């Protein structure tokens, strides 16, 4: 059993060590809590559980405390993928819900498994997910003063390998802040969130860069074709560098290999397996 989570890129952490430490401590607590959950649950259930904990922590740009778009509204995206069934589900630009990843989970049982905008909100309401305002006072102040330029690259994610050898991944984001209304990020696409029986990947960074190189799907495909997870990530990041892309990934392979890498520093993450705790 293994699990790895990320809290996205936080460039302000380079100068604000107190903020960086708080995020690292939060990730450490969440990964330990989620690992305990994994002991009695599937990888799919666990990545949803871990992502809801991340969505509930206002330190991260997903769920509570998501970035505000240029029209003053928060629109969130999230996706879920089961490595065993290859089922992908997600929501794009959903508003006024507490846990976008839980809406994605509910959609996994539906034929129309990726919804956006008003349709996603209507589906949430029809399935018992009530109104929730995710804007914190801090995010509102950032919007009003336009001081959030350095905070735009945050996303959260989780990848898990359960005791039955099944893989799953989940990713959730509140966007980059001040973007065009209804911009689509990578998080609810196979470029940012992908899994099969060989590997699972969650991405963070600049969504347009991640989509341009189909990053998550490309890494998983390479592992499927015989690369190690590290080899697949490293080769894919060489291709990302060709467009001067900005991204980070966490991943687990069916072999048990756990790997993370980024094109720039300050992606925060944490991982646990049966024998080892890793934290940065």
**Residue 233: per-residue pLDDT:** 97
Residues in the chain: 280
* pLDDT of 280 higher than 50: no
- What domains are defined for the chain? 2-273 (3.60.20.30)
CB-hemisphere CA count at 13 Å for 256? 8
Is-contact 25 270, C-beta < 8 A?
no
Can you give the pTM of this predicted structure? 0.84
Name the more confident of 20 and 123.
123
Cβ burial, residue 190 (10 Å; 0-12/13-18/19+): buried
Question: Is the Cα dihedral 183, 133, 29, 152 positive or negative?
Answer: positive
Residue 127 and residue 104 in contact, taking contact as beta carbons nearer than 8 Å: no
Q: Tell which wins on pLDDT, 7 or 10.
A: 7
Q: pLDDT tens-digit profile of 121-163?
A: 999 999 999 999 888 887 777 776 654 444 444 689 999 999 9
Give the model confidence (pLDDT) of 35-67 as tens digits.
999 999 999 999 999 999 999 998 899 999 898
Q: What is the Cα–Cα distance from 109 to 112, expressed in whole angstroms?
A: 9
Is 70 exceeded by the pLDDT of residue 13? no
- What pLDDT, on the 0 to 100 scale, is given for residue 98? 96
Q: Crossing angle, helix 17-38 and helix 43-55, to 10 degrees?
A: 150
**Does position 234 have pLDDT exceeding 90, yes or no?**
yes
Answer whether residue 95 shows pLDDT above 90.
yes
Q: Is the model's pLDDT at 212 over the cut of 50? A: yes
**Cα-based angle 220, 223, 226 (whole degrees, multiple of 5):** 155
* pLDDT in the model for residue 274: 56
- Cα 265 to the chain's mean position, in Å? 17
Q: What percent of the chain has pLDDT over 90?
A: 71
Which residue among the candidates 46, 51, 52, 155 is catalytic per the annotation? 155
Active site residue 155: yes
């Amino acid at each position: 059993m293994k699990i790895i989570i990320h809290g996205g890129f936080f460039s302000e952490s380079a100068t604000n060590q107190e903020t960086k430490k708080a995020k690292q401590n939060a990730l450490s607590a969440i990964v330990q809590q989620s690992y305990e959950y994994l002991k009695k649950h599937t990888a799919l259930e666990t990545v949803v559980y871990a992502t809801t904990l991340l969505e509930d922590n206002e330190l991260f740009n997903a769920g509570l405390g998501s970035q505000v778009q240029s029209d003053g509204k928060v629109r969130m995206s999230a996706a879920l993928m089961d490595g065993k069934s290859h089922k992908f589900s997600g929501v794009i630009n959903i508003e006024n819900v507490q846990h976008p990843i839980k809406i994605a989970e509910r959609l996994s049982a539906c034929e129309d498994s990726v919804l956006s905008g008003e349709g996603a909100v209507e589906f949430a309401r029809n399935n018992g997910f009530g109104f929730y305002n995710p804007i914190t006072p801090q995010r509102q102040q950032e919007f009003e003063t336009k001081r959030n330029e350095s905070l735009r690259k945050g996303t959260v994610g989780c990848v898990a390998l359960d005791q039955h050898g099944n893989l799953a991944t989940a990713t959730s984001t509140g966007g980059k802040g001040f973007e065009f209304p209804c911009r689509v990020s990578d998080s609810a696409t196979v470029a940012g969130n992908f899994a099969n029986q060989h590997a699972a990947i969650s991405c963070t960074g600049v969504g347009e860069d991640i989509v341009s190189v189909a990053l998550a799907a490309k890494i998983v495909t390479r592992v499927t074709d015989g690369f190690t997870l590290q080899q697949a990530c490293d080769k894919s990041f060489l291709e990302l560098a060709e467009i001067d892309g900005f991204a980070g990934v966490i991943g687990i392979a069916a072999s048990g290999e756990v790997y993370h890498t980024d094109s720039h520093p300050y992606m925060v993450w944490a991982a646990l397996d049966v024998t080892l705790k890793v934290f940065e």
